[in-house]
Structure formats: C-alpha cells, structure tokens
Amino acid sequence: MPNAVGPEQWYACTVHELGVSHLFEPFIDVFYRCNIWHVRGRDRSLLFDSGLGVVSLAQHFPWLRHMPLLAIASHTHFDHIGNLHEFADRACHPAEAHILDAPTRDATLATRYAKLDMFERLPPGGFDADAYRVIPAPATRLLEHGDCVDLGDRRFEVLHVPGHSPGSIALWESETVLLLSCDAVYDGLLIYDAYHSNPEDYIETMHKLRELPVRVVHGGHYPSFGRDRFRELIDDYVRGRRSPGCPSETLARP
C-alpha cells in the first residue's frame, strides 16, 4: 500500500492565462484525478468542481475565501464534488440537484470507482473505501442552460451538456473564447456508460459543442487543449473511437 502524504502536500496549483488557476490532487492516479478550475473576477470568483473531498480544499487554499466565490458542480460524480460543502454559495444544474442534497455512494459513482487503486500516494490518514462518502452540499442556486455566471468584469454562459450525466454543465466565456468543458469533452477516454449516462444525448451535446469557436478548453480531467484537438476529440467520439468499448482503452473513469 502506498504511503500517506501530509495534508500540506495533497494539492497543487498551476496558474494559467486569463485569471484561471488549475487546482488538482497530484497523488490521485491521472485516470481519476479531477481538474478543479478557479476563475478570478473583479467582484467575485468561480470554482468549477472541488475534488475528492479527502483533504480540505478551502484550508489548503485560504485565498479561495478572500473574495465572494460561487462553487459550481459541473456534475455530481464523487471526484468532482467532494469539497463542495466547504463553500456557502453552491450551484449545479437542476437535473442533479437531488444528488447534492443526498449524495449516496451509488448516485455519485463512489461504489463503483472510489477504491484504493485511485491513489499513487494515500491521503493523510489513509483511505477507507467502504466508509468514503460525499458530504451533502445542497445547491443554493440552480443553473439552467443559457444562464449567466457574472463575475463583475467577465461573464460565463452556462451550457447544459447532458450525456455523461443528465445535469452536466459547461461554462463558456465568449469574450475570451474559453470553455470549461467538464466531463463532456476532455483529452482521454470519455464515459457514457454510467447509470444515468445517455449516449444519444451525448452525441447531440457533441454536435452542439463542436460549433463553438473555442481557443482554450479546460476539461474535467487530463491536460487542456485548443480548438483543433477539441474538434478531433469530438469527431473521434462521434465515430465511436473514444468509447469504453475501444479495445486499447479499457479503463473507465467517473
């Protein structure tokens, strides 16, 4: 079993252009590691997803509380919502709000995926897979397709992108052509076989997303990419090349 790390080592942060910071948990295997995106605005900031929840995100990054912050769940799989309860202002799509209210192990996919083999090093205190569960964090705001997340000097449009899950949302900033794409599109194996996935919705989502004139895409997992790769990933998925059935890629991830 891998050794546990100290709490001060659990997270890392990389600063990108356009006031975007990437927070992540480096000792979680890359297949399971959620990208946590922080976008700074003039009047407030947004946090898009919050990680596994085994170490306090808010304590590790106290600057998260230096200005008003809206913590948004891109969807409700456990690897994305574990620390959501640490923030007072929380948002998600209505289709998954009931899961934030009562995040059972089955509903959040923890039963299926939250295992010891997620870790390259264990979190402080180790990890009890059977005991792990997400703390309830009811949404204080519901975000529908077309809604605006206004940070004062910049505005993100909410895109409902069902398929991976029914309430998946992406955030689109047209002024900077920046997309936070959640688990709808990232540069890895895309998952459409969760209990509430819908492959037909996923294809429709892909067709809509492909029309966006993106310049930078920050996904829910794996490294960021640009427009050409974005369209290539979508085209591969639509052609069936990036599915759990692909023989060279057998690991499914939430």
Note the residues at the interface with Zn ion (CB under 5 A): 77, 183, 254
| Among 72, 86, 218, 216, residue whose Cα is nearest residue 150 | 72
Q: Which is nearer to Zn ion, 151 or 190 (CB)?
A: 190
Q: Which is nearer to Zn ion, 77 or 242 (CB)?
A: 77
Q: Which is nearer to Zn ion, 51 or 254 (CB)?
A: 254
CB neighbour class for 198 (10 Å; exposed up to 12, middle 13-18, buried from 19):
middle
Angle between helices 227-238 and 199-210 (to 10 degrees): 150
In whole angstroms, how close is the CB of 77 to Zn ion at the nearest point?
3
In whole angstroms, how close is the CB of 32 to Zn ion at the nearest point?
10
* Cβ–Cβ under 8 Å, residues 15 and 21: yes
Angle at 141 between CA 138 and CA 147, to 5 degrees: 145
Q: Which residue type sits at 219? A: G
| Among 80, 65, 88, residue whose Cα is nearest residue 33 | 80
Q: Which is nearer to Zn ion, 103 or 254 (CB)?
A: 254
In whole angstroms, how close is the CB of 75 to Zn ion at the nearest point?
6
The order of strands in the sheet holding 148-150 is 148-150, 155-160, 169-173, 178-182, 216-219
In whole angstroms, how close is the CB of 241 to Zn ion at the nearest point?
20
In whole angstroms, how close is the CB of 19 to Zn ion at the nearest point?
25
Q: Which is nearer to Zn ion, 86 or 183 (CB)?
A: 183
